[in-house]
């Protein structure tokens, strides 16, 4: 079930569900960082419990299905299916024994909960407990993918595609009347261009059902249930029909292409259909503030929207499309399995090549104009802002020499560096190209003429007559390093960097100086438009999106919101900020207008924490 559906459901059925044990719930922290209130534990009949959808932030991979629940932590797994043990139901374990008396999962307000005892059995580490806080160890990896169906259940009971069976309810009391579908509740929410609809079928007793899907919608067949015939057009425009028959009730819901999830709730018995529909593909779907990845914080101040990232959980990285290509922001984020991203620096629309500094993983792929503001990141997660002027410097027994330029274009009078992509041809007749592997101190290969360096290889092309001191054989000593030549900050440990500008905020104060960065304030680049920036807020790297305004208005809004440092990225038609997940897993955007494809972006990638950092 989508988090958007859960949020909507809390409103729709507030009259039929009470809050369970809210006074005794505990705040959940991960690595000492308190999570959102929606993640709080709940005291249930089987003991203190956590919602299954929150468990990936503890490092647990899940299949959040009440008919086939899976919890995987390392090599240890717990599985649960309703029904008696003789029918393959109850708890099952892989790599451990099922703890005696382990409570069954429970559904509360549309969320499936499992007991803390199940997590302890899996080996999930609790760092500390107080009456108000339950603190778990930060995971090495935050799982993103949903687990497939349990292999044992799939082998035991294969089902046809498009048809989802549910377990039969408990045997009715002899002579008891059949279950009655007494009430249909419908709720609908609009989030920009995304509609979230919930249909709740209230039953007098549990009933088995099957779901059949097609392009127009879905049908839910409730066995042994009686109801009054109904045909109703919902506020969304969908049509709901109830048709009683000899074997039960058939409910038909046309969804107009929406994505639907079906699940059950107890006490009272209900079948719930959540449908998420993107009503207008011309409008980017919004983020779901209630279902952001763990460690991501959203703030809104009018036109200003801010997404901050816990540096202990995420590493900002500069990610580029293949040379000469531009990609959509989701593609750039997905290429490194990131959770969010913002478009990068300025580029030439005709060639899709960046026009200013790009450094990724310690390799400079585009040289600096040496005048524009730059944002950079260290491997430890620190964010740097300033005006570095990096160059490659080659050193060996001969001394040192500075590389003139970076790029695929070969000029005989210059010493040129290029980071290979496995496709681009460089070099020329009479010129020598040396290959260096990142971090190596010797020449990997020395070639003459036109060559195609492999991806990630640093290639240095030169005329031997102009640079006789440089080696021309494989195995010769040669080191390449970035000399950042910065006066405003210590950039020596930077691994990634991107120049754009202008510098908007520094030290919490507006810092605009277009003359210093040689921006023409009468040109279109300075017009009022949608704007994006990358900076820091409360010590966390932060994406900022401004709906409409000038750089001056953007800078003022950032400073007023508490942003300490910020550099504007390419704005206007390129401006975009994207987060994975969202309503119906459509992805979420801060921008309300689609951004064009771009050659690079700053992407936030889940980091692998050192083992030592997880010790209590």
Of the candidate ranges 291-295, 345-349, 488-492, the one whose mean pLDDT is the lowest: 488-492
609, 312 in Cβ contact below 8 A?
yes
What pLDDT, on a 0 to 100 scale, did the predictor assign at position 312? 92
What's the DSSP call for residue 521? T
* Confidence category of residue 86, pLDDT binned at 50, 70, 90: very low
The yes-or-no verdict on residue 336 having pLDDT over 70 is: yes
Would you tell me how many other CB atoms lie within 10 Å of the CB of residue 124?
A: 21
Does pLDDT of 68 surpass 50? yes
For residue 153, the model assigns a pLDDT of 62
| Domain span(s) for CATH 2.60.40.3470 in the chain | 179-278
SS3 call for 469: coil
For the domain spanning 179-278, the CATH number is 2.60.40.3470
Cα gap 118→121, rounded to integer Å? 5
Pairing verdict, β 416-419 and 405-406: parallel
Beta-carbon contacts of residue 11 (< 8 Å; ≥ 6 apart)? 187, 189
Residue 4 confidence (pLDDT) above 80 = no
Q: Which of 42-56, 143-157, 376-390 has the lowest mean pLDDT?
A: 143-157
Tokens standing for 378? Answer: 């260290």
Q: What does the pLDDT read at residue 112?
A: 86
Interval 321-345 mean pLDDT: 94
Q: What is the token pair recorded at 275? A: 């449908």
DSSP letter assigned to residue 471: -
Task: List the structure tokens of 90.
Answer: 């109850």
pLDDT at 3 over 70: no
Report the pLDDT averaged over residues 389-393. Answer: 96
What is the dihedral sign for C-alpha 322, 327, 329, 335? Answer: negative
Query: Beta-carbon neighbour count of residue 86 at 10 Å?
Result: 7
pLDDT of residue 169 exceeding 90: no
188 contacts: CB under 8 Å, gap ≥ 6: 8, 195, 196, 197, 198, 234, 235, 236
Which band of pLDDT confidence, cut at 50, 70 and 90, is reported for residue 246?
confident
- 559-612, pLDDT tens digit by residue? 999 999 999 999 999 999 999 999 988 999 999 999 999 999 999 999 864 333
Q: Bigger pLDDT: 563 or 237?
A: 563
Task: State whether the Cα torsion 592-594-599-603 is positive or negative.
Answer: positive
Q: Which residues have C-beta within 8 Å of that of residue 177, sequence separation ≥ 6?
A: none
Q: Which residue has the tokens 């730059």?
A: 374
pLDDT band at 89 (very low <50, low <70, confident <90, very high): confident
Between 36-45, 249-258, 595-604, the lowest mean confidence (pLDDT) is in 36-45
Tokens describing residue 477:
């000593």
For the CA atoms of the chain, what is the radius of gyration? Answer: 29
Segment 544-554 shows an average pLDDT of 97
Which H helix or E strand runs over 504?
A: strand 503-506
371-386 average pLDDT score? 94
**DSSP readout, 206-274?**
---EEEEEETTEEEEEEETEE---EEEE-TTS-EEEEEEETTEEEEEEE-TT-EEEEEEETTTTEEEEE
At residue 16 the predicted structure's pLDDT band, cuts being 50, 70 and 90, is very low
**pLDDT (tens digit per residue) in 109-158:** 668 899 999 999 999 999 888 888 999 998 887 887 778 888 766 444 43
- Average predicted confidence (pLDDT) for the chain: 87
Bridge partners (DSSP) of residue 506 are: 509
Mean pLDDT, range 310-335, rounded to an integer: 94
pLDDT confidence of residue 110: 67
pLDDT digits (tens, 9 = 90+) for 397-445: 999 999 999 999 888 999 999 999 899 999 999 999 999 987 789 999 9
Confidence band for 364, pLDDT divided at 50, 70 and 90: very high
SS3 content of the chain, % helix, strand, coil (to 5): 10, 40, 45
- In 3D space, the residue among 448, 516, 436, 544 whose CA is nearest the CA of residue 481 turns out to be 436
Q: Indicate whether 6 pLDDT > 60.
A: no
Are the C-beta atoms of residues 431 and 410 closer than 8 Å to each other?
A: yes
pLDDT, mean of residues 324-349: 95
Question: Is the model's pLDDT at 14 over the cut of 80?
Answer: no
Q: Which helix (H) or strand (E) holds 144?
A: none
- The DSSP code sequence of 348-390 is ETTTTEESS-EEETTEEEE---SSS-EEEEETT--EEEE----
In the prediction, which pLDDT does 489 show?
Answer: 76
Q: What is the pTM of this model?
A: 0.70
Instruction: Please tell me the total number of residues recorded for the chain in this structure.
Output: 616
176 pLDDT tier (thresholds 50, 70, 90): low
DSSP letters for 84-112: -GGGT-EEEEESSPPPTTPPPPEEETTEE
Q: Are 537 and 561 in contact (CB under 8 A)?
A: yes
Can you tell me the mean pLDDT for 93-104?
89
């Amino acid at each position: 079930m989508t988090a958007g559906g859960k949020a909507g459901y809390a409103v729709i059925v507030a009259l039929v569900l009470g809050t369970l044990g809210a006074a005794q719930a505990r705040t959940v922290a991960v690595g000492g960082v308190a999570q959102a209130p929606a993640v709080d534990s709940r005291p249930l009949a089987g003991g203190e419990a956590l919602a299954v959808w929150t468990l990936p932030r503890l490092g647990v991979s899940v299949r959040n299905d009440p008919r086939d629940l899976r919890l995987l932590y390392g090599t240890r797994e717990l599985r649960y299916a309703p029904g008696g043990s003789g029918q393959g139901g109850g708890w099952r374990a892989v790599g451990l024994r099922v703890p005696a008396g382990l409570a069954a999962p429970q559904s509360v307000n549309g969320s499936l909960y499992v007991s803390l005892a199940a997590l302890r059995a899996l080996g999930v580490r609790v760092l500390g407990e107080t009456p108000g806080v339950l603190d778990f160890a930060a995971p090495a990896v935050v799982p993103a993918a949903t687990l497939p169906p349990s292999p044992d259940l799939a082998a035991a009971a294969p089902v046809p595609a498009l048809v989802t069976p549910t377990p039969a309810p408990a045997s009715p009391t002899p002579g008891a009347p059949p279950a009655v579908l007494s009430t249909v509740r419908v709720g609908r929410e609009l989030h920009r261009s995304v509609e979230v609809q919930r249909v709740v079928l209230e039953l007098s007793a549990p009933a088995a059902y099957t779901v059949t899907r097609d392009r127009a919608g879905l049908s839910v067949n409730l066995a042994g249930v009686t109801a009054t015939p109904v045909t109703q057009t919902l506020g969304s425009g969908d049509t709901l029909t109830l048709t009683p028959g000899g074997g039960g009730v058939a409910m038909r819901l046309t969804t107009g292409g929406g994505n639907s999830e079906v699940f059950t709730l107890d006490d009272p018995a209900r079948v719930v259909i959540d449908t998420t529909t993107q009503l207008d593909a011309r409008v980017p779907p919004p983020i779901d503030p209630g279902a952001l990845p763990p460690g991501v914080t959203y703030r809104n101040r009018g036109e200003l929207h801010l997404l901050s990232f816990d540096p202990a959980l995420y590493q900002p990285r500069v990610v580029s499309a293949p040379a000469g290509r531009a990609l959509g922001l989701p593609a750039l984020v997905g290429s490194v399995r990131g959770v969010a991203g913002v478009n990068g620096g300025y580029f030439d629309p005709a060639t899709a090549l960046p026009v200013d500094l790009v450094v990724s993983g310690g390799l400079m792929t585009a040289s600096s104009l040496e005048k524009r503001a730059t944002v950079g990141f260290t491997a430890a997660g620190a964010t740097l802002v300033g005006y570095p002027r990096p160059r490659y410097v080659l050193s060996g027994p001969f001394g040192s020499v500075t590389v003139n330029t970076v790029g695929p274009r070969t000029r005989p009078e210059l010493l040129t560096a290029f980071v290979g992509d496995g496709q681009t041809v460089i070099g020329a007749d009479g010129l020598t190209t040396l290959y260096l592997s990142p971090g190596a101190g010797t020449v990997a290969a020395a070639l003459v003429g036109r060559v195609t360096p492999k991806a990630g290889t640093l290639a240095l092309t030169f005329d031997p007559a102009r640079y006789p001191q440089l080696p021309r054989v494989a195995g010769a000593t040669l080191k390449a390093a970035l000399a950042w030549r910065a006066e405003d900050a210590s950039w020596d440990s930077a691994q990634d960097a991107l120049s754009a500008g202008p510098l908007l905020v520094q030290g919490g104060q507006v810092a605009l100086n277009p003359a210093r960065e040689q921006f023409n304030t009468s040109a279109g680049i300075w017009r009022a438009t949608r704007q994006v920036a990358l900076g820091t807020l409360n010590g966390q790297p932060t994406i900022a999106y401004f709906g409409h305004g000038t750089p001056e208005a953007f800078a003022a809004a950032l400073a007023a919101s508490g942003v300490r440092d910020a550099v504007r990225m390419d704005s206007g038609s390129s401006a975009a900020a994207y987060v994975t997940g969202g309503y119906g897993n459509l992805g979420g955007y801060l921008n309300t207008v689609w951004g064009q494809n771009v050659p690079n972006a700053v992407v936030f990638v889940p980091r692998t924490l050192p083992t030592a950092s997880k010790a209590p």
